[in-house]
Amino acid sequence: MRLLVWFALVVAAVTSLPAAEPAVPAKIDFDRLDCRWTFGNHEPISMYRRIGRQSTGGIEGGALWLEDWHHWFDSEDCPRLMEDLGLNMLHCRFYKGMGWKYESQDFPNVKRFVENCHKHNVRALAYVQFCTLYYEIMSDEIPDLADWAGVDRYGHKLTWGSAYYRWSPCINAPGFEPYLKKVIKIALEEGGFDGIMFDNCGVSPCYCDRCTALFREHLAKVPDSETRFGIPTVAHVLPPVHSGYGEIQDPVCQEWIRFRTERMTALYRRLYLHAKACKPAAIVSGNVANIRRANMADSTGLIPTDLADYFDIFVSQSGNAPGVVDGCVVNRVREIKLAGAVGTPILALCDSDAGGAPEDQTKGEALALVEDAVFGGIPTDRTVLKADREMVSPRRLAVHRAMLKQFNKTVDAGREGLAAPSYEPVRLLYSRESIMFSEQSHRAVLSAEEILLQNHVPCGLLPCSADISLVIPDGIEVLLVCDQRCLSDSQLDALAEFAKKGGRLIVTGQSGQYDELYRQRRENPLVKALKGCENTIRRDQADKATIRGSGWTIKVAATKESGRRLMADLDAVWSPRVRIQAPPSVLAEVRQDGTAVYVHLVNYARDPVGPGTRIELAKREFQSADCTFAAPMEGRAPAPIAAKEAEKVYVLDLPGFADYAVVRIPN
């Protein structure tokens, strides 16, 4: 009897424990080099009619031929053309935020399009709008829709930019999440889709009573709140209003950002698990916009490094169409590098939602394809299917057909060098809290990164968070800590340990002066900890480049003068195995596998690169220099290139090339 009572008590105790969160499933196995992403007509006709003006795909919302184009796109002719061009993946219209009662009328057409895609080996992801409630339509289905809408600081409904007819949601509204889960289930279980693409994943701060109450609950859980906030109770705190970026040291502002980002991350975790429960093989992607833009956490509630486990693919939409603009090398390398650092494939869109980028300022779609393949993105050509009065432009089609054919040849012939792991011996510490709370930290990373890119130093990012132990991988030869102002004690200990074991460390600016909550320390622990460490440099001045844009489009101009000090520091502590000398408008990606090192060179300037680009190979690392040079987009196959032998290096002087060249160097 006692045993039964004991057993009953144990069962009761166990069942009363909070349920363990379900494990996050492994990400899909996705080979980016096999993918050719394209435009999938992801907007319903009603969206175009309501907006009236030119919108997605460069289509006039009031165009009289809009219905004809939609019918053509839904027909089998369109996926057949995609297959003929070698295009095999897209996201297409499913749910725009107008309410399923209304949008389900188009569902038979959408399902037919998905079936046609599958007939022609094209995978289709369901477009699911996250950040819009079309209240003029949806209110008929959801009478209390106004309670789902976010509220600004003045009590007005939040809208999607200037689109007054599109409310933005309060993600904490009780009905919002279940409704999204309902449409996800329909897409994956009834629509035949291969996955989901959430659009506009971020939301502006909501100041409704519900969010205010939840925020106070969050504050009440902060340990020793009076010491933290300087007030005896948080019961009357209102959500703060913070405009711009700057240096966020107000503790309530900091917690407001943490509160919102934590709830957003938790929501996307639940949506990811729900999608996988509906269809385990589903691809879950989301448009988080430019993942390297300034003030992302505060303005949208998104922290990409926190979200990496809950998206199979990041969609990073930006204005970073490759080219030289205002003296800056505009590129998507930064976005791709961050996604790579957190192990998430990235669709880095820069085509103005398939409407095309300004051709007078960029080098067009061919360079964007090359940039994707070389640096680690998903190759994309959406503008080939840009809407046209003739359904698809014959002229554009002819140009893109030839371009895609040559690009596919380039990838097929060079797959070994494009698929090899990136060689990133130099890393920049990318501190979650520093980027979240300090504009100076964000700008310091952009500046140092630009200096490294323009000096062709193989580099990458090392993301870190104050609540996770900092582990510095063995392959890092030099670690740069550039004015990262919000570092924890344990992070500083890890940096000091790295240096004491012989790691090369360059620390600049106010790194170490403040803790992870941006509170000034009595003294900088790194000063004492790094004293006497060889191959370590610490200086109070951070490197600063001219930053002309850090939002939708990132524009950074780093001159030789602005980068001279950092490059001198690098030379003082490190002797690279591969040194590249090329014009600043050429960016390099170095990859290596067990057989070879591959130096990829991408030219962002309109003018071709003349002879004179040079690669130096350290003799200590290479037994010979039997190398080949190719410019595959120009049809120039790999050919031997002679190496000159100097005292400590082999020297390769490269011929000129137009847009892209690759040098293969045997290990």
Token representation of residue 277? 């429960």
- The residue-averaged pLDDT of 620-625 equals 82
Exposure string over 178-215, b if 16+ CB within 10 A, otherwise e:
ebbbebbbbbbeebbbbbbbbbbbbbbbbbbeebeebb
- Among 199-203, 273-277, 351-355, where is mean pLDDT lowest? 351-355
Asked if the 36-317 domain carries CATH number 2.40.160.60, the reply is: no
Token representation of residue 417? 């060098």
**Confidence tier at 5 by pLDDT (50, 70, 90):** very low
Looking at residue 363, what is its pLDDT? 64
- Among 192-206, 355-369, 619-633, where is mean pLDDT lowest? 355-369
Tens of pLDDT, residue by residue over 187-214, are 999 999 999 999 999 999 999 999 999 9
Looking at residue 357, what is its pLDDT? 60
Superfamily, domain 578-666: Golgi alpha-mannosidase II (2.60.40.1180)
- The residue-averaged pLDDT of 229-234 equals 96
Token representation of residue 433? 């809290």
Mean pLDDT of the chain: 94
- The residue-averaged pLDDT of 228-243 equals 94
pLDDT exceeds 50 at position 30: yes
- Among 18-32, 111-125, 129-143, where is mean pLDDT lowest? 18-32
pLDDT exceeds 70 at position 428: yes
Provide, rounded to the nearest whole percent, the portion of the chain with pLDDT above 90: 91
| Residue 439 and residue 295 in contact, taking contact as beta carbons nearer than 8 Å | yes
Which candidate, 138, 134, 41, 151, places its Cα nearest to that of 92?
41
3-state class of 120 per DSSP? coil
**Quick one: DSSP state of residue 654?**
P
- Among 140-154, 225-239, 243-257, 342-356, where is mean pLDDT lowest? 342-356
More confident residue, 642 or 268: 268
Looking at residue 1, what is its pLDDT? 43
Tens of pLDDT, residue by residue over 399-416, are 999 999 999 999 999 999
- The residue-averaged pLDDT of 105-117 equals 98
Looking at residue 18, what is its pLDDT? 52
Which CATH number is 426-573 given?
A: 3.40.50
Q: How far is CA 358 from CA 55, 307, 361, 363, in A?
A: 15, 32, 6, 9
* Cα 296 from Cα 302, distance rounded (Å): 6
Element (H, E) at 539: strand 536-539
Tens of pLDDT, residue by residue over 464-500, are 999 999 999 999 999 999 999 999 999 999 999 999 9
Q: Please, which residues have CB within 8 angstroms of residue 49's CB and are 6 or more apart in sequence?
A: 61, 62, 66
Domain boundaries, the chain: 36-317, 426-573, 578-666
pLDDT exceeds 80 at position 387: yes
Phi-psi region of 106 (alpha: psi -120 to 50; beta: other; left: phi over 0): alpha
Looking at residue 19, what is its pLDDT? 64
* Cα 107 from Cα 190, distance rounded (Å): 10
DSSP one-letter string for 333-357:
HHHHHHHHHTT--EEEE-STTTT--
Angle at 457 between CA 456 and CA 458, to 5 degrees: 110
- The residue-averaged pLDDT of 421-445 equals 98
pLDDT exceeds 90 at position 553: yes
3-state class of 137 per DSSP? helix
Looking at residue 10, what is its pLDDT? 39
pLDDT exceeds 90 at position 635: yes
pLDDT exceeds 80 at position 660: yes
- The residue-averaged pLDDT of 328-356 equals 94
Tens of pLDDT, residue by residue over 554-595, are 999 977 787 999 999 999 999 999 999 999 999 999 999 999
| Residue 99 and residue 142 in contact, taking contact as beta carbons nearer than 8 Å | yes
Looking at residue 6, what is its pLDDT? 41
More confident residue, 123 or 11: 123
Q: How many CB atoms lie within 10 A of CB 388?
A: 18
**Confidence tier at 639 by pLDDT (50, 70, 90):** very high
